[in-house]
Amino acid sequence: MIEKKQKGWQRGQSGNPKGKTPGSGALQKLRASIAADVPDILAGLVVAAKAGDVQAARLILERVLPPIKAIEQAVELQFPDGGTLTAQGRAVLSAVAAGELAPGQGAVLLAAIGSLARVTAIDEIETRLSKLEQQHDEH
Protein backbone atom coordinates (compact mmCIF):
# COMPACT_ATOMS: atom_id res chain seq x y z
CA MET A 1 0.00 0.00 0.00
CA ILE A 2 1.32 3.44 -0.95
CA GLU A 3 1.28 6.04 1.78
CA LYS A 4 0.18 9.49 0.72
CA LYS A 5 1.73 12.53 2.24
CA GLN A 6 -0.92 14.47 4.17
CA LYS A 7 -1.40 18.06 3.14
CA GLY A 8 -2.28 20.90 5.45
CA TRP A 9 -2.25 21.01 9.23
CA GLN A 10 -1.94 17.89 11.27
CA ARG A 11 -3.45 17.65 14.72
CA GLY A 12 -0.87 18.12 17.46
CA GLN A 13 1.80 19.60 15.19
CA SER A 14 2.70 23.24 14.92
CA GLY A 15 2.86 24.88 11.53
CA ASN A 16 5.87 26.85 12.75
CA PRO A 17 7.81 24.73 15.25
CA LYS A 18 10.54 27.34 15.77
CA GLY A 19 7.95 30.01 16.56
CA LYS A 20 8.01 33.68 15.83
CA THR A 21 11.40 35.36 15.91
CA PRO A 22 11.62 37.55 19.03
CA GLY A 23 11.43 41.26 18.22
CA SER A 24 10.02 40.73 14.73
CA GLY A 25 6.56 42.18 15.44
CA ALA A 26 5.52 45.69 14.44
CA LEU A 27 5.13 46.85 18.05
CA GLN A 28 8.58 45.60 19.02
CA LYS A 29 10.10 47.34 15.99
CA LEU A 30 8.36 50.60 16.90
CA ARG A 31 9.57 50.38 20.51
CA ALA A 32 13.11 49.71 19.36
CA SER A 33 13.03 52.70 16.99
CA ILE A 34 12.06 55.17 19.73
CA ALA A 35 13.94 53.57 22.64
CA ALA A 36 16.86 56.01 22.37
CA ASP A 37 14.49 59.02 22.42
CA VAL A 38 12.40 57.95 25.45
CA PRO A 39 14.53 59.78 28.06
CA ASP A 40 14.27 63.05 26.10
CA ILE A 41 10.51 62.57 25.60
CA LEU A 42 9.99 61.97 29.33
CA ALA A 43 12.13 64.97 30.24
CA GLY A 44 10.07 67.12 27.88
CA LEU A 45 6.83 65.86 29.44
CA VAL A 46 8.10 66.69 32.91
CA VAL A 47 9.11 70.19 31.82
CA ALA A 48 5.69 70.71 30.20
CA ALA A 49 3.90 69.41 33.28
CA LYS A 50 5.87 71.71 35.56
CA ALA A 51 5.02 74.62 33.25
CA GLY A 52 1.31 73.95 33.76
CA ASP A 53 0.44 71.58 30.90
CA VAL A 54 -2.38 69.59 32.49
CA GLN A 55 -2.40 66.91 29.78
CA ALA A 56 1.32 66.23 30.27
CA ALA A 57 0.87 66.09 34.04
CA ARG A 58 -2.11 63.72 33.69
CA LEU A 59 -0.17 61.44 31.33
CA ILE A 60 2.78 61.22 33.72
CA LEU A 61 0.64 60.68 36.80
CA GLU A 62 -1.57 58.04 35.13
CA ARG A 63 1.53 56.02 34.25
CA VAL A 64 3.37 56.47 37.54
CA LEU A 65 0.42 56.49 39.98
CA PRO A 66 -2.45 54.49 38.46
CA PRO A 67 -5.90 55.18 39.94
CA ILE A 68 -6.60 53.37 43.18
CA LYS A 69 -9.37 50.81 42.86
CA ALA A 70 -11.91 50.69 45.61
CA ILE A 71 -12.11 47.43 47.49
CA GLU A 72 -14.88 46.23 49.72
CA GLN A 73 -14.05 44.88 53.13
CA ALA A 74 -15.24 41.39 53.91
CA VAL A 75 -18.14 41.36 56.35
CA GLU A 76 -19.24 38.44 58.45
CA LEU A 77 -23.00 38.12 58.22
CA GLN A 78 -24.97 35.97 60.63
CA PHE A 79 -27.82 34.09 58.97
CA PRO A 80 -30.54 32.48 61.05
CA ASP A 81 -29.77 28.81 61.79
CA GLY A 82 -31.92 26.59 59.60
CA GLY A 83 -33.64 29.69 58.26
CA THR A 84 -35.42 29.83 54.96
CA LEU A 85 -34.06 31.67 51.95
CA THR A 86 -36.60 34.39 52.73
CA ALA A 87 -35.17 34.73 56.25
CA GLN A 88 -31.67 34.96 54.79
CA GLY A 89 -32.82 37.69 52.39
CA ARG A 90 -34.33 39.61 55.28
CA ALA A 91 -31.07 39.27 57.22
CA VAL A 92 -29.20 40.82 54.29
CA LEU A 93 -31.69 43.69 54.03
CA SER A 94 -31.47 44.28 57.80
CA ALA A 95 -27.67 44.39 57.63
CA VAL A 96 -27.83 46.94 54.78
CA ALA A 97 -30.40 49.02 56.66
CA ALA A 98 -28.26 48.96 59.82
CA GLY A 99 -25.18 50.08 57.86
CA GLU A 100 -23.33 46.84 58.59
CA LEU A 101 -23.24 45.93 54.92
CA ALA A 102 -22.70 48.14 51.87
CA PRO A 103 -25.69 48.38 49.51
CA GLY A 104 -23.62 46.91 46.66
CA GLN A 105 -22.65 43.94 48.78
CA GLY A 106 -26.27 43.50 49.83
CA ALA A 107 -27.41 43.51 46.21
CA VAL A 108 -24.84 40.85 45.31
CA LEU A 109 -25.88 38.68 48.25
CA LEU A 110 -29.57 39.03 47.42
CA ALA A 111 -28.85 38.02 43.83
CA ALA A 112 -26.92 35.00 45.10
CA ILE A 113 -29.79 34.04 47.39
CA GLY A 114 -32.18 34.40 44.42
CA SER A 115 -29.97 32.09 42.33
CA LEU A 116 -29.86 29.61 45.19
CA ALA A 117 -33.66 29.75 45.40
CA ARG A 118 -33.95 28.87 41.70
CA VAL A 119 -31.49 25.98 42.03
CA THR A 120 -33.32 24.71 45.12
CA ALA A 121 -36.66 24.88 43.29
CA ILE A 122 -35.23 22.85 40.39
CA ASP A 123 -33.88 20.25 42.81
CA GLU A 124 -37.27 19.99 44.51
CA ILE A 125 -39.05 19.62 41.17
CA GLU A 126 -36.65 16.86 40.12
CA THR A 127 -37.20 15.03 43.42
CA ARG A 128 -40.98 15.27 43.10
CA LEU A 129 -40.85 14.14 39.47
CA SER A 130 -38.70 11.14 40.38
CA LYS A 131 -41.17 10.14 43.12
CA LEU A 132 -44.11 10.48 40.71
CA GLU A 133 -42.31 8.37 38.09
CA GLN A 134 -41.55 5.69 40.67
CA GLN A 135 -45.20 5.64 41.78
CA HIS A 136 -46.34 5.42 38.17
CA ASP A 137 -43.95 2.55 37.41
CA GLU A 138 -45.20 0.61 40.47
CA HIS A 139 -48.81 0.70 39.23
- CA–CA dist 114, 23 (Å, integer): 51
Rg (CA), the chain: 32
The domain segmentation of the chain, as residue ranges, is 26-64, 85-138
Q: What is the pLDDT of residue 123?
A: 94
Q: What is the pLDDT of residue 4?
A: 63
Whether the model pTM is above 0.85:
no
Give, for all 139 residues of the chain, the pLDDT tens digit: 566 666 666 777 777 777 777 767 888 888 888 999 989 999 999 999 999 999 999 999 988 888 888 887 888 888 877 788 999 999 999 999 999 898 999 999 999 999 999 999 999 999 999 999 998 888 7
In sequence order, which residues have a C-beta less than 8 Å from that of residue 88 and are 6 or more positions away?
79, 80, 113
For 75-97, b/e burial (b = at least 16 CB within 10 A) is eeeeeeeeeeeeebbebbeebbe
- CA–CA dist 103, 97 (Å, integer): 9
In sequence order, which residues have a C-beta less than 8 Å from that of residue 65 and are 6 or more positions away?
none
- Cα 101 → chain centroid: 23
